[in-house]
Amino acid sequence: MKKILLVALVGICFLGQNANAKYFTDYNAGVTITRIHVHSGGGITLHISGAVKNLDGCAVTDKVHLKGNLAGHQNMLSHAMMAFTTGKKVGLHASGCEVIPFWGGGLMTPIIDNLWVFK
């Protein structure tokens, strides 16, 4: 019984940390999209301004990338474009960092897997 309880507690602690570990922005405060760059391979780079959390420690903090093959990519792109054209802020959740060859320099850029728009 003690082993089961210990495993359950460790699991809960681990899940609690993971749930918050990848927010690139604060959940209740967003950033402004200042430019949208569409790449030939289908990926999108959003140039942003505002405070970020950067819990993944990515070298780049003024740009984020939406992979073209990510499920929900078109929905995230349409929300990003709406936020850009209306001046609304967006919240971002990252799934790590990658080098985006287009930008050169080998710097790690945040890869976004969730995006939400603030009213």
Q: What local confidence, expressed as pLDDT, does residue 105 receive?
A: 87
- Topology of 22-117 in CATH? OB fold (Dihydrolipoamide Acetyltransferase, E2P) (2.40.50)
Higher pLDDT, 76 or 3: 76
* Tens digits of residue pLDDT in 69-86: 999 999 999 999 999 999
Identify the sign of the CA torsion 103, 40, 36, 21.
negative
Domain boundaries defined on the chain: 22-117
Q: Apex CA 19: angle with CA 17 and CA 20, to 5°?
A: 75
Q: What pTM, to 2 d.p., does this model score?
A: 0.81
